[in-house]
Amino acid sequence: MDVVSTYSVASLAWLSAQALPLIVWPSLVSTLLRADTTNAPYGGAPAASLEGYFARSLGLSQLALGLLLLVLSGALPLDSMVEDPPTTTHNKSNGTTPPSPYANAAVLISALYHAASAFYAYTRYYSTGGRAVAYLFGCVGASVLATFGLWVLLFAGESQRRVRVSRRTGADKDTSGWPFRNVVADRKRR
């Protein structure tokens, strides 16, 4: 399993862990997220029909986002495994398939979603004075996934990159000397 697939499965697991309580029991989630249930206008009363509708809609949306990320990142293949047409880009020499063309876009959108979710959860936790600990857990989980998504965007796929090496010097042609000098390439020239 490559890094993009690991990120998409972890993101699906986190979104599913948030979505299932929203779908099954929306009144529990709204009670947990209230800062002070004794001063609430309904005192922890069952969820109103509108509150239940929005909670279930959010849960289904989170499941859809997680499943879309899983499909678009290439972790869940969409093509048939039986047919192997000659136009496929499957690399038979090392047995790897190239990443999905939509993987970077899907990871970017989901990482932005997790970052926005972490920011919102932190501001809600801070505004309640630290009384609503559920927001803190949401902030930590979303922050970890946003950071992991940023790492995947920056560093995943480096092994898939075609390395261009100079025949004369042996240096990597994709590096430059600005703003820092490439000491390794300078050593190979000597």
Task: Give tens-digit pLDDT for 54-84.
Answer: 888 999 999 999 999 999 888 887 776 545 5
**In the predicted structure, residue 88 carries a pLDDT above the cut 50:** no
Q: Is the pLDDT of residue 86 over 60?
A: no
- DSSP for the chain, written as a single string: --HHHHHHHHHHHHHHHHHHHHHH-HHHHHHHH-S-SSSSSSSSPPPPHHHHHHHHHHHHHHHHHHHHHHHHTTSS--S-SS---TT---BTTTTB-PPPTTHHHHHHHHHHHHHHHHHHHHHHHHHTTT--HHHHHHHHHHHHHHHHHHHHHHHTTTTTSPP-B-TTT--BTT---SSS--HHHHHHH-
% of the chain with per-residue pLDDT over 70:
68
Share of the chain above pLDDT 90, in %: 36
Residue 189: CB partners within 8 Å, gap ≥ 6?
169, 171
Q: State the Cα–Cα distance between residues 178 and 166, nearest whole angstrom.
A: 18
Q: How many CB atoms lie within 10 A of CB 132?
A: 19
Q: Whose structure tokens read 């190979």?
A: 188
Q: What is the mean pLDDT of residues 86-107?
A: 65
Least confident interval from 14-18, 69-73, 95-99, 141-145? 95-99
Q: What is the mean pLDDT of residues 40-49?
A: 56
Most confident of 44-48, 75-79, 84-88, 171-175: 75-79
